[in-house]
Amino acid sequence: MNIFKKTEDSQQITILNDFRQRINSAKMPENVKHIAERELEIMSKMSPASAEYTISLSYIDYLVSLPWDRKTSDNLDLNQAKKILDERHYGLNDVKERILEHLAVKVLVMNKKPHILVVDDEEIARNNIEHILKKENYDVVTASNGVEAIEKLNTSSFDVVLTDLKMEKIDGLVLLEKVKNKYPDVQVIMITAYAAVDSAIEAIKKGAFHYIAKPFRLDEVRSTVKHALDKKLSTISTKGSVLCFTGPPGTGKTSIGKSIADALGRKFARISVGGMKDEAEIRGHRRTYAGAMPGRIIEEIRRAESLNPVIMLDEIDKVGGQDFKGDPESALLEVLDPEQNQSFIDHYLDVPFDLSNVMFIATANIAENIQGPLRDRMEIIEFSGYTEDEKINIALLHLIPKQIREQGLSDYPPNFSVEAVSKIINDYTREAGTRNLERQISNICRKIATEFVYHKESIRLVNITPELVERYLGPRKYFIEVADENNRIGVVTGLVWMETGGEIIFIESARMKGLGNLILTGSLGNVMRESAQAALSYIRSNASSFNISENILEGYDIHIHIPAGAIPKDGPSAGATIAASLISLFTGKPARRDVAVSGELTLSGRILPVGGIKEKILAARRAGVKTIILPFKNKVDIENLDPKVIKGLEIILTDRIEDIISRLLV
Ligand code: ADP
């Protein structure tokens, strides 16, 4: 018994010693180290068989495994970054330019030598401080009194001012006030005699960053200045400091994010925050919970083994709102706020962790859906859907070579013809981005690889033609929705803008015996229902101008239906289309199916501008629409488009429903 007890004890001692060593080498900040040591102390008094022992053990293990001071050094060569972005992505020129600008600002901020002003009437002190700070590679300027300091402040910019408190004429407090009034971002550190600590505290109340008491210690001067500089840098461009990529799926948001990480030489991690309802997923569980875990942010940093990874927060427009499990949104706000995230507290860790080195990039499908306060923190960069031409290029230059590599076909790479790729795009995918396109290419490559494995004799260079595409992928999945159908009464082609990009819809109206009710079906949101009501009211109040009888509803119900799956549809942009469908129904004139309409309708018959123009036009093109009628006020959006997007399409701009009707009805 005794022998067992002894081995158990010595085992525990080994474990404790091991942890002590790991705590010492983990390079944690002093306060964290202290907490870890205290936990170890408590643990040493517990029975290794108890649950608490295991909890403490896991906790300390977690603390020491975090990269407290490990980070990758940034590669700040913009040319190299540009090269990586260009090599890996076709097109996206605006996006790349915006990203490089963003990085350029970071490079400037990080490479700038900090400027420091030292103000002291005592020459020895002044020279000493200057000497210490110059050794840190800062640009140091000195002034021997307040007047001189103010002159220097007026002519060049400083990040930090160190000033003696007691000086003739203009003393430290007056100088502090002047600096804070004129340059609120500049951090001021007071230098004071021990006896004057009270007035130093007074200075902090007035906005000074901190104070240093004379005679000062070297390391104290160094670390106080360093902290002041960190604070100054973190306040630079707080607003919009986080990039947010918005756009339909498969438009390259994730892969650009990964390229940014590679260009900077940083680790890359992704966290999907879409649908997150529980704050603990971001901020972790308190250790008192059974099975408590840290939040995803800290976990990803631990996995990245570096405290400055690029972390992509996916679907930030779909974060769950506040409920009994807390508010993930406010936790995210804290994570993204440079003023607060220097000391982010994960509930499990229960000690602050500095997130200010992490580069966060958010992604969203629709920028408007991001909650206001979160959106304010972000610099939005829009990705949009691709034209067929762009998709062909992306496929030939990137997707096909990648799939050939991944499916092990590098020795006998199949050769895809442009016609074949175009067939895959038109007959097997219907999307704004390139996700399904990549999937279908991967299917083809996999089938070829399988053939090679089963029939060694069939190994050869395959030329992929449209016929082969059909053989590999089966009968076509999509048809050109518009061209193949006849014009019908009460059915009008509309355009909507959704998370997945633009879509065409067909709005159908029918009239049947009833009590004058308006029936709406097809998963419509409230705004779309209201648009339908408004459209009907508009037509009733202007019946005569469309040659429609005033009592068209008497003894009848009207049914408006918008098919296309059970996809929820909302937004005001279908107003004009619904009105056109009703007028087609009431006048008995069929509507041209290859004409698509989008526009918000007011009760007085004016057409108001709508969003998502590029996505809508791309969708119309995919569906074979020939003419698109859009609100006149969207003229600028059209002018800003790449001419290739509208090439071959007839675009009509109008702000009157009568125009739409005369173009649309046969
Ligand atoms: P998102 O994150 O927007 O949903 P992804 O980054 O996952 O889209 O892109 C889907 C696929 O398409 C990836 O393989 C990506 O590399 C590729 N892709 C998208 N856009 C481009 C582009 N412009 N050039 C090259 N590849 C692209």
Whether residue 167 has pLDDT greater than 60: yes
Residue 374 near residue 256 (C-beta atoms within 8 A): no
Tokens of 279: 């704050």
Q: Do residues 229 and 253 both lie within one domain? A: no
Whether residue 140 has pLDDT greater than 70: yes
Q: Do residues 396 and 524 both lie within one domain? A: no
In a domain, 86, yes or no: no
- pLDDT, tens digit, for every residue of 266-289? 999 999 998 888 889 999 999 877
Long-range contacts of 211-216 (CB under 8 A, 24+ apart): 211/165, 212/162, 214/125, 216/129, 216/191
Average pLDDT over residues 419-431: 93
Q: How close is the Cα of 254 to the center of ligand 1, in Å?
A: 7
- What are the Cα distances from residue 279, in Å, to 144, 347, 348, 375? 53, 10, 12, 19
Q: Do residues 234 and 247 both lie within one domain? A: no
Q: Do residues 400 and 348 both lie within one domain? A: no
Q: Do residues 649 and 511 both lie within one domain? A: yes
Residue nearest to atom 1 of ligand 1 (CA): 250
In a domain, 126, yes or no: yes
Tokens of 428: 């097997």
- pLDDT, tens digit, for every residue of 587-606? 999 999 999 999 999 999 89
Question: Ligand 1 pocket test: which of 434, 437, 439, 615 has the largest number of ligand atoms within 8 Å of its C-beta?
Answer: 434
pLDDT at 169: 83
Residue whose C-alpha is closest to residue 534's, from 462, 493, 488, 582: 582
User: With bands split at pLDDT 50, 70 and 90, how would you rate the model's confidence at 239?
Assistant: very low
**Dihedrals φ, ψ of 591, to 5°?**
-105, 145
User: With bands split at pLDDT 50, 70 and 90, how would you rate the model's confidence at 560?
Assistant: very high
Domains identified in the chain, total number: 5
Q: How close is the Cα of 386 to the center of ligand 1, in Å?
A: 11
Catalytic member of 33, 423, 569, 616? 616
Q: Do residues 122 and 47 both lie within one domain? A: no
Alpha-carbon torsion, ordered 87, 91, 92, 94, to 10 deg: 110
Q: Which DSSP string do the residues of 97-164 spell out, in sequence order?
A: HHHHHHHHHHHHHHHSPPEEEEE-S-HHHHHHHHHHHHHTT-EEEEESSHHHHHHHHHHS--SEEEEE
pLDDT at 202: 84
Q: Does 573 qualify as catalytic in the annotation?
A: yes
- Determine the Cα–Cα distance for residues 588 and 224; give it in Å rounded to an integer: 81
Q: Do residues 308 and 374 both lie within one domain? A: yes
Residue 342 near residue 235 (C-beta atoms within 8 A): no
Quote the pTM value. 0.80
Q: Do residues 530 and 638 both lie within one domain? A: yes
For position 534, which CATH number holds? 3.30.230.10
Q: Do residues 493 and 629 both lie within one domain? A: yes
Last residue of one domain, picked from the residues 450, 473, 496: 473
- What residues are in contact with ligand 1 under a 6 Å CB criterion? 89-92, 249-255, 394, 398, 433-435, 438
Q: Does 616 qualify as catalytic in the annotation?
A: yes
Q: Do residues 21 and 165 both lie within one domain? A: no
Average pLDDT over residues 355-364: 91
Q: Which DSSP string do the residues of 501-559 spell out, in sequence order?
A: EEEEEEEEEEEEESSS-EEEESSB-HHHHHHHHHHHHHHHHTGGGGT--TTTTTTEEEE
Residue 419 near residue 396 (C-beta atoms within 8 A): no
Alpha-helical (H) ranges within 357-457 are 372-376, 388-394, 400-406, 418-428, 435-454
Residue whose C-alpha is closest to residue 616's, from 593, 575, 588, 645: 645
Average pLDDT over residues 58-74: 90
Question: Ligand 1 pocket test: which of 246, 251, 438 has the largest number of ligand atoms within 8 Å of its C-beta?
Answer: 251
Whether residue 194 has pLDDT greater than 60: yes
Residue whose C-alpha is closest to residue 114's, from 230, 238, 212: 230
pLDDT at 240: 45
Residue whose C-alpha is closest to residue 58's, from 304, 303, 287: 287
pLDDT at 41: 92
User: With bands split at pLDDT 50, 70 and 90, how would you rate the model's confidence at 236?
Assistant: low
Residue 537 near residue 592 (C-beta atoms within 8 A): no
In a domain, 84, yes or no: no
More confident residue, 440 or 26: 440
pLDDT at 102: 86
In a domain, 161, yes or no: yes
Catalytic member of 241, 509, 573, 598? 573
Residue nearest to atom 15 of ligand 1 (CA): 252
- Determine the Cα–Cα distance for residues 497 and 599; give it in Å rounded to an integer: 12
- Determine the Cα–Cα distance for residues 276 and 426; give it in Å rounded to an integer: 35
Q: Do residues 152 and 56 both lie within one domain? A: no
Last residue of one domain, picked from the residues 341, 357, 382: 382
Domain that holds residue 37: 2-65
Q: Which residues of 456-489 are buried (b: 16+ CB within 10 A; e: fewer)?
A: eeeeeebebeeebbbebbeeeeeeebbeeeebeb
